[in-house]
Chains A and B, each alone.
Chain A
Amino acid sequence: MNTMDTSTATHYNEIEVQDLVDNLKNADVTRSLQVYRTLGCAARSGLSEHDVFAHVVVEALSLKRRWPRDLKAISFFIKTGKSIISNEEEKYSRLMVTPSVDELLTIDDEMLKPTSATAKFSHASAETIIEHAQSDNIISIWIQKIQQLFEDDPQADCFIKQKLEEQKKSRILVLCEFTDQLYRNVEKRVKDKVRKRFPNGLPWWEVES
């Protein structure tokens, strides 16, 4: 038995993948594009949601990314998209910080002075302190907005407060006096409401230090 036989037992073959991709529902196309956007593909990797989608399609069809038989189409598209964004993000960040040889040759003395990146080894620059303060301020505003969403829902409000405190589910059940079923219901309400308020999520990558 060769490896191809083994892998087609657990993964879709080329023809099956063509069929699955060709029959992708419009709802799943919409979900995929929306999720790639929510993952911050453009800001993190330089790829638009359409670029990520095209990468997923091509890598699925060429069998570069194998599609397990037990994985639904939307799960495959999101899992693969996340992986592509993550890989591209790594390359993208290297591209943003690595100077070219030409840049190094034309560097002048002024540019060799400590930057905010090197200054942190001694003391924080004024620039860094301001950036941190701004980031904290933005995050506080986001948190306020989220809390305001659940002002009229004491259960969801309690859930959010405990999540902010990074409490585990077992503690939240006790602190908010939830049953297991109620926890799931409240979590679902929170998920749906934050999606309706922030359909593309919150751009945490803009404030990540």
Chain B
Amino acid sequence: MTLAFIKQINEYVIDSIIEASDEEILACVGSDGYPSQQDIYQARTVITQAIKEQRQLRLSQQRAAFQAYKQEQEVAQNAPPKRTIPEMLSDIVAAMQNQDKVPEGVILAFREQGQGGSENDIVEIWQNLVELGLIDPNDTDT
């Protein structure tokens, strides 16, 4: 019962510490029972160091995320197309037939490139048309 009273007294002490003005609190620094200037300096050092470490951590996380993004992009660019050769041929034909969008010179160039007709040529033409935006690699309707 009386212990509760002692705990209440401590709560009063805490309230008084919080409610005292800044000037009053700073005037107590270094006096008996209060933190010293050295204590404040030590706490400030903790803040500076913690902020520095947090910023470094955030920077390294951002770098790692960017690196992962770059790698993902590279993998996506180098990955073999998910279309079969006949599907690619179909895409190429559809793109070539779209006279309104494809400049004349480009059609001629691809006709010459496709003379050999090997699978590698077809893949290369398909990828070039994708890069030019004339084929949507994600369009699986065709």
Contact = CB atoms under 8 A, between A and B. Distances in A.
A34 B35 contact: yes
A199 B2 CA distance: 20
A49 B33 CA distance: 13
A194 B32 contact: no
Range class of the A interface residue count: 35 or more
Interface in B18-57: 18-20, 22, 25-26, 28-29, 32-35, 39-40, 42-44, 46-48, 50-51, 54-55
Contacts, number: 134
Contact of B43 (A33, A75, A199): A33
Choose among A39, A139, A194 the residue with the greatest number of B CB atoms under 10 Å from its CB. A194
The B interface is mostly helix, strand or loop, or mixed, namely helix
Given A21-B51, A164-B5, A191-B15, A199 B34 contact: yes
Contacts of B4: 166
A61 B48 CA distance: 11
A181 interface: no
Contact of A191 (B19, B32, B51): B19
Contact of B28 (A49, A163, A166, A199): A199
A32 B43 CA distance: 10
Contact of B26 (A26, A58, A61): A26
A119 interface: no
Given A30-B26, A164-B5, 14 more contacts: A18-B51, A22-B48, A24-B47, A30-B29, A30-B39, A74-B18, A142-B9, A143-B2, A163-B5, A190-B12, A191-B15, A194-B9, A195-B17, A199-B34
